[in-house]
Amino acid sequence: MGSTTEKQTPRGAGPGDLEAAFGRQLSLASRSVHADDHTNTHPAVAPPMHVSTTFRYPRNPDELVPWSEADPDAFEQTYIYSREKSPTVTRYETILTSVLGAPSIAYSSGLAAFHAMMVFLNPRRVAIAGGYHGCHGVLTILNKLNGLEKVDLEDPAALATLQPGDVIHVETPLNPTGEARDLAYYRRKADELGCWLTVDATFAPPPLMDPFALGADIVMHSGTKYFGGHSDMLSGVLAVHPAKAGLRTVPGRKGAGAGEEGKLTWVQQLREERLLLGNVMGNFEGWLGVRSLRTLELRVKRQSENAERLVAWLAGEKAKGEGVVAELVHKIQHSSLQPEAKEEGSWLRKQMPNGHGPVFALWLESEQVARRLPSKLRLFHHATSLGGVESLVEWRAMSDASVDRRLIRVSVGVEGWEDLKDDLLQGLVALKEELGR
């Protein structure tokens, strides 16, 4: 057995080394392909999938350091048991750390990540409004456990009742409409009130938005959506603002580095809590995540462009006041239609400089039309979820009781946008005929 395997400290050209060689930061596209190069221990170009749940300790007895005595920095280099961490998921996290520009940690699902974030920050109150219904469900469970209260994010008077240590949780763009919220505004509120700003950025992954540039403390993603991108894996991600990822005292723990007794970084603490909550990603999902992140930029750019074109076409048809779109579509919602999208220098332009999210909402003329339209489409699958290469529509009442029953959520995939346009058009025409209009 080679000493590299025994010591579990692979060496190679890391992203730092690569960037030093280029004298600048590599592009997002290059980082998503090469940020994990330094973890290669085998000449195979495609990454391995490690399925082991347990890892051999060093053979040399003098190198045995019990976990409770280990320096967390050194500990990061070793593998013990896959509920703590596993090499394939670490590889996925390494790429995410580079792509998101902040230390990142992966979970078994988006909701597992949201739950872990709330357990870690442990607020008394969370300001939140609308958005993904499952996050509200997690807060209801926490309310049962510790009385955690929800405060209406959109009501300035309610927001003012927050206390230091509470959380302002902003989902943007919002599920299910794809409309954006002003992160800079909520950062100012968080500063005034001494609160943490957490952002669910699932609907606008890189390169569309960087919530850290606007002061987010923790950014959360359902990696099930765009990081996975192929509707075949569950994943959640937390990324911690690099400047705020610093040391926090943990009673009874040896700390990171000399002289930092009892202190761990946020990510180290999140990892310790993840070890106990047990909400880790599976190895196969980690492997799929690595494969998928390679094409993140390609996919997301294409999906974003497709969505903007479709929305512009639909809005144009609607504005004509006649034709099947104008007749059957009551309203279209997407950040590209928000007034600030057209304003030079607006918060929205600054927040989403590289395009809008690939999800938008259509309000059909009636519940009946919304329920029937998905069955008329040939390219859009009728299914929940979003972010995959396949375009999806969902009569949203199917999975979210809190939204208007006329609403259809559209997740745009990587198909040719004109094919998607023609599919929507023929679907609306067929539906109109069926309804005898």
DSSP-assigned beta bridge partners for residue 331: 363
Q: Which residues contact 166 (CB under 8 A, 6 or more apart)?
A: 123, 124, 125, 126, 127, 151, 193, 195, 196
352 binds ligand PLP (CB under 6 A): no
Can residue 308 be called a binding residue for ligand PLP (CB under 6 A)? Answer: no
The 10 Å Cβ neighbour count of residue 372 is 17
- Can you list the alpha helix ranges (DSSP code H) found in 294-392? 296-320, 324-328, 347-351, 367-376
Task: Please tell me whether residue 202 binds ligand PLP under the rule CB under 6 A.
Answer: yes
Closest distance between ligand PLP and the C-beta of residue 385, in Å?
7
Single-letter amino acid, residue 116: A
Tokens of 343: 């304003």
Residue 10 engages ligand PLP in binding (rule: CB under 6 A) = no
Site for ligand PLP in 374-413 (CB under 6 A): none
Encoded amino acid at 305, one letter: E
Binding residues with ligand PLP: total (CB under 6 A): 16
DSSP calls for 255-279: -SSTT-TTEEEHHHHHHHHHHHHT-
- The residue range among 144-152, 220-228, 243-251, 288-296 that interacts with ligand PLP, by the rule CB under 6 A, is 220-228
Q: Which of 121, 110, 324, 144 is nearest to 224 (CA)?
A: 110
Q: What is the DSSP letter of 354?
A: T
Sole window of 221-229, 318-326, 331-339, 407-415 interacting with ligand PLP (rule: CB under 6 A):
221-229
User: CB–CB of 104/246 below 8 Å?
Assistant: no
Residue 287 in the binding site for ligand PLP (CB under 6 A): no
CA–CA dist 326, 54 (Å, integer): 60
Q: Any contact of residue 229 with ligand PLP (CB under 6 A)?
A: no
Among positions 36, 93, 200, 423, the unique one binding ligand PLP when judged by CB under 6 A: 200
The residue from 222, 231, 279, 351 that contacts ligand PLP (CB under 6 A) is 222
CA distances (Å), 416 to each of 129, 277, 307, in order? 35, 43, 11
Please state the closest distance from residue 104 (CB atom) to ligand PLP, in A.
Answer: 15
The answer to whether 175 contacts ligand PLP (rule: CB under 6 A) is yes
Measured in residues, the chain has a length of 437
Which CB sits closer to ligand PLP, 111 or 208?
111
How far is residue 405's CA from residue 426's CA, in Å, rounded to a whole number? 22
- Of the candidates 36, 171, 179, 308, which one interacts with ligand PLP according to CB under 6 A? 171
State how far the Cα of 307 lies from the Cα of 413, in Å rounded to an integer.
Answer: 8
The reply to whether 283 sits near ligand PLP by the rule CB under 6 A is no
Nearer of residues 169 and 187 to ligand PLP, judged by Cβ: 169
Q: Report the nearest approach of ligand PLP to the CB of residue 282 (Å).
A: 13
Tell the smallest beta-carbon distance from residue 287 to ligand PLP (Å).
17
Identify which of residues 193 and 352 has a Cβ nearer to ligand PLP in the complex.
352
- What is the contact surface with ligand PLP in residues (CB under 6 A)? 109-111, 132, 134-135, 171, 175, 200, 202-203, 222, 224-225, 234, 236
